[in-house]
Chains A and B, each alone.
Chain A
């Protein structure tokens, strides 16, 4: 029997039981647009798979217990030292299990790259406006994945119960404890009593290994199903419209490229894990509340939280014998809560401002949405300033500065720099729009000089191709919303203040350099 016949038999077997041929035929030919920035989400997805694989490996040796043991393993400098079984088992994985240290490192590097890829992917989706209708739900799922990722990573590196991560747990406990009214109760419930207790490590193990991965699988499946069903967005260009998808079919091209990319991601993570040490817990020592290391930081995706907490003014209020620690609640819970809620709701905020209720499948070039791009730049600046403060002690020792200087710098910087970034980015976008307009109207500067008969020197401009001209002018430029304050009879409309805010934001949002039209080109041709 030929291969074709054998495959035919298999296909028949499956189809008779599931009716698979009908939906497979469509999906094997599904078209996926090809742009490198669409692969950032894939990096996150593949890192997740690598986390599942390496994580499962680690669970075969890890002992999630706070039970005190005396170390008797092969790492001499910790011989006879009292430590938790969790820490001892992690040392065992690192030193006695062959390939154990490599897998620990793969797991941790994959986590860092997972979070970095999520953030990069989020930025791509944001700056290209891919969150607009019909993808608002997917955006919210994405923000959910980001939040869960931060928690999962924190719990993950806290499992070995070393000095650095134990300090992180102490800080997390202080945040819980600071919650008004119920804080100390929540803390005692979470830790099974006083800090550090013996219940926390086993409990976060369950969350880290079972509950959150389950949530991830569900959310990632929903996320991918939406992308599959709604079809991926695509960048504007010749031949691309709101009603089509231009790209390559799943079988064979996309399968090969995307499948191959999984091996690339895995290979790169393995390479980094082979050559760069991460989380050397044997140097940190086991956790005890009486010890601390200089330069204690959380992993990068929580560094901005640490930076916000560091720069907080020392505000605590007392009334009727009760204490409210604003210096913990504001940077630790309130500001992150506002940021992430705002991020999750952004698609709805933007559609409220623009009044745009249509579907969008063509992406925006960031310069063509200057307000949104500037807002994104502002948020990134905020995060970077906070992140810098999170590492201020390391920056101080490395660059001969003082932590006090850096702290004051970021205290002011966090208010001054983001608006500055907004203004600069918006102006940059408008300049780029102007440059695009020039390109369409006058063509590309070739650098060749021509001397005209009457003596004038001019630079020869080469007209751009019709494809490029289309790319530079196919974007929409919606005018600002018109929300009359009074209706036809002169009565002031309800919700006037809201509408005023909305109009003002709409005007700011729609600021743009008018794009070139056919009439403009005709005008040029006629000179």
Chain B
């Protein structure tokens, strides 16, 4: 003991104590969580659901609760359906990194197989919206671009902007850009209403109408900018900025040259 106390003011003490504490807490937690008994369900447990449950316990239960019952910082996942999970995890929004305002789209943490497992697990908790199949997502065949545009402007443009570039909500929340989003995820978002986005029920916007919306969004995404560089497709703000900086700037530059004496 005396030997140890001689080193108590050594400069390595702080960092080593910290590392020891982190290791201790981390190992204790993972051991403890791994040995907690999970709730047994009455349904047959397929391998996928079980795999999903394991992933869930490791990566999601700390916020969503060991039984997906939710808590102070995360909602319950009972009844949200496979579609919600496929959207949130597939777009990388979940697991949520920055807890400040809202979940951001980022690189997905889980592979598509793991995502499918998670979705199956959450779907097994209670009935909810299902992941749309390839057949259900054939927007090229079943959707109409022009109708989609009308529907988009009526239901989506007020949050996501007329060209799907995104827009501001209150208190720092935002409706993200729709550019570069998989059709499946667009569909799932409309059906499940993630975070601040409302739900667009299949009776108020039918599945065909949803496909038309997706078709229009995909068209807007691929449409080249007619008339020049797009300046962000956000309207007069960027146009005014360009007129003052580039436009008037060049003209003042020429004016200065004009009034200068030649050598």
Residues of chain A having any CB pair with chain B under 8 Å: 34-40, 43, 76-81, 94, 101-102, 105, 109, 112-113, 116-117, 120, 163-164, 257, 260-261, 264-265, 268-269, 272-280, 282-285, 290-301, 303, 391-394, 396-397, 400-405
Contact = CB atoms under 8 A, between A and B. Distances in A.
Contacts of A284: 162
Given A113-B247, A268-B254, A303-B236, 4 more contacts: A36-B252, A291-B153, A293-B167, A397-B174
A285 B172 contact: no
Nearest to B259: A36
A264 B226 contact: no
Interface in B127-170: 145-146, 148-150, 153-154, 157-163, 165-168, 170
Contacts of B154: 290-291
A268 B250 contact: yes
Contacts of A35: 259
A231 to B, nearest CB: 18
B251 A36 contact: no
Given A393-B168, A397-B168, A403-B170, A294 B247 contact: no
A295 B146 contact: no
Contacts of B153: 163, 285, 291, 293
A300 B243 contact: yes
Contacts of A393: 167-168
A268 B251 contact: yes
Given A163-B162, A275-B229, A283-B220, A294 B157 contact: yes
B158 A294 contact: yes
Nearest to B239: A278
A39 B146 contact: no
B168 A396 contact: yes
Contacts of B235: 164, 293, 295-297
Contacts of A77: 145-146, 148-149, 216, 219-220, 223
B246 to A, nearest CB: 7
B236 A299 contact: yes
A36 B255 contact: yes
A115 B15 CA distance: 62
Contacts, number: 201
Nearest to A113: B247
B179 interface: no
Contacts of B227: 94, 101-102, 105, 277-278, 280
- What 8 pairs between A and B have smallest CB-CB spacing? A294-B167, A300-B240, A402-B172, A112-B243, A277-B227, A393-B168, A293-B162, A39-B255
Interface of B: 101, 145-146, 148-150, 153-154, 157-163, 165-168, 170-175, 216, 219-220, 223, 225-231, 233-237, 239-244, 246-248, 250-252, 254-256, 258-260
A283 B172 contact: no
Contacts of B145: 76-77, 79
A292 B166 contact: no
B216 to A, nearest CB: 6
A261 B258 contact: yes
25 contacts: A35-B259, A36-B256, A36-B258, A77-B145, A77-B148, A101-B227, A113-B243, A113-B247, A117-B248, A261-B258, A276-B228, A277-B231, A279-B239, A280-B227, A292-B158, A293-B162, A293-B235, A294-B168, A294-B175, A295-B235, A300-B244, A303-B240, A393-B167, A396-B168, A401-B172
A257 B262 CA distance: 13
A297 B254 contact: no
Contacts of A300: 236-237, 239-241, 243-244
Contact of B146 (A40, A80, A274, A303): A80
Given A273-B228, A276-B242, A283-B220, A81 B157 contact: no
B71 to A, nearest CB: 25
B111 to A, nearest CB: 29
Given A117-B248, A294-B168, A402-B171, A285 B240 contact: no
